[in-house]
Chain A
């Protein structure tokens, strides 16, 4: 295929030419393999072959040191006392009695604890939160994940010969690396976008929407070389009006029809300016999607009326429309911000953890009701973790930018109820960082050490597990194209087997 969809849309002006559906266009592109065509002919898209990935992004750098906490006294691994010693003095430790216990088979079946806001007592709770899902084996924890170019020991961290991510501890750069899956250099495309570039022709050849939808604006994660995401508002706006241009009515006639025709026609003109073409393309995509979304869908399970609740509810609506939309694969991006807790962290974490836990649980339950809980996997990412050593003290206590942090993966296909991850590259350590300043997991040395964990699992390793489950072809060229540094991390799938 020599033409991208973008080219095609540019030439046809999208719906300008008699509202030709994207599906028909994609057929015309001849992008389908015979096998894909056979698949399509034999079953409805969005049917039993369907899968979706949902990225929940914690913007600002989540202090997961307070999210997943040792809740035992075993001195062979970091225990609650080690945690409390590091954080209690300045008032940042979560009281042990309030932790929601979880058992970790991988670490001698010791007990760890989740932050109390992840359970049923969260402020304004309408469900049991995600703590319960861990016990049900539908929530896995991947420990100490972060941006890496290659595995690093503490000794290697201090040597320039061993490549490290550029601009560690900087929000924008670490966000970009988490979303591009490339930590050694600036990349233009996100790993979600690159998956979509490669899977759209075979999986969604007649899809009426792009493979990727963001409910939180344009994000690097969602941009591919040829993939431009759909970006729509949250569930406060119903699907049938979320991209609706005003002023045309449902069946325009007369001057309104003349206006619509001119509005569409203008987008096909003067495209020799690349900026005008880019603006046209975005609007085209919106007009296409709008016509595909005219029959709305509603969710069954109640969702919290929070930003993240409304975003996940909008995702659930789109998933419910999957057959109408002719899609076999979908990737969604949702985001909750406010994690940059340099100050006021305790109250902020109660607030944020409660919000996303409640929203995730509603989403999980809704997927179960829709009968697709095994087909939908939700996973987290963040800029970075935060210093174990608190910033400030007392009521305003917070924490500073750090590196590795823990992630949640949720879904019916997830082998939950355990920690996943890797040991240090030299085989020492455990599936949870050693909570010790200037220790073997800390980048820092000396008395001023802050506790910034050198990740033991890289973001691209973590991502590649999601991608494999999603059906990304596992040939070397595809993997190299989507995760260029994955070769540096052998044995990924044997360690990170939380998804089949």
Chain B
């Protein structure tokens, strides 16, 4: 198969893999049980609020706010972990809360470092009155705050460029001084040292910003932040990454010190130092995935190695491109073409392998993270993946230009005269610089999207419910008629506003006649945020009309409303609609 054919084959494989996306869910901290239960009217005021998650979340990073309708805070102490259950957080409440409705807003940090939040209401009775409209607090400082995103990007960029430059310097370009007189590897070595120093500084800076954001402290409050570095698995992972990257840098600097590129074969000292650096580089690149989304996505035995290979491939490609630019700009203009004719053909082969690996692992990771195919264009996480794929496809098109046009011309120049600087080769080298610069900028852009992607929460499993929905309605008042199991169902939601008491009704008819005495329950699941499922029994208020007023749409966004209907004398059925509520 030709190279173009292989590239085409890889692209077809991506499209095919995306088309057969299975329903696989990923895990963040999910709230699985609450006390008091959402929207419940209690006859005696509770003494505390307890929230149980599917994993042990850290109380020092958690917020549980309990407010009355006037916004007055009703908690009397800090959030702490339950002595009986490590997955449960509790917060004490003011004793003898008066009758009325209360809003519980919570925010917690998942094991992978992402903030998750939600809200629900409960009432103290017996006569709390109608549910009021609450102002739901919103803490905008999430994992995607610009300062956090930029520090994350700089960190990934410097670490990946450093590791990629190391690979280029030692395994692609090492023979350059032997093959072309008057050339050297000094510029590549200096660029590598610069990138590694930036990386060594960027990791703790990012960690400081991330922990400051999670614990709602200032980034300059270093004395308070450092003890929190190792509290979450996310923090521990990045401290370990910092250690491993420091070991990589020391090993790579020693490898530079003992390297003698004028000799064809490597000495024992060179082999040992380079092996140490490679081991440490491998360790550095496995850690972000292990403590990030990959480590939280089932099957972990697949997703962690896939993420590792993805980062290795990205590093080799990006660092190599930066290295080629460094070579172009620092090489003596008389020897530039000769130097590039040695390095470019060798790097092209490596880059082609990297791109193929990047495509394969990226596709597997996408399949692994998406609960459904349409999550790709219906969620921010999915859209970020599409943007990243688009940027990388453009970068690959530019890379194909290099592969098919400049590489053969430079290779021919290298194989021809010893000077190797014919007019065509000079033009090819000039074109190469422009293409490589564009490619490097595009790949750096893709790393930025990856930094954004790894900061966003993947769509929750409830997202997959959207595909089973009979209709999508809202925002605004809903009057939608659907057919299900031979019944005609009219769904009525008014005014369909979040954090307000809404009226939900279902009119059931069959053959034009109202269906009476059916058992109808309605369940609510937010498709974009992690919240407990709510369930209400609807009562027949008119013949064939089952309704209920409830403050169930706690947050704005898309809700999966499942009407579970058991008609008399007929088999039960479920009708699912997606309702979008606005504020």
Report if A and B associate in a common complex: no
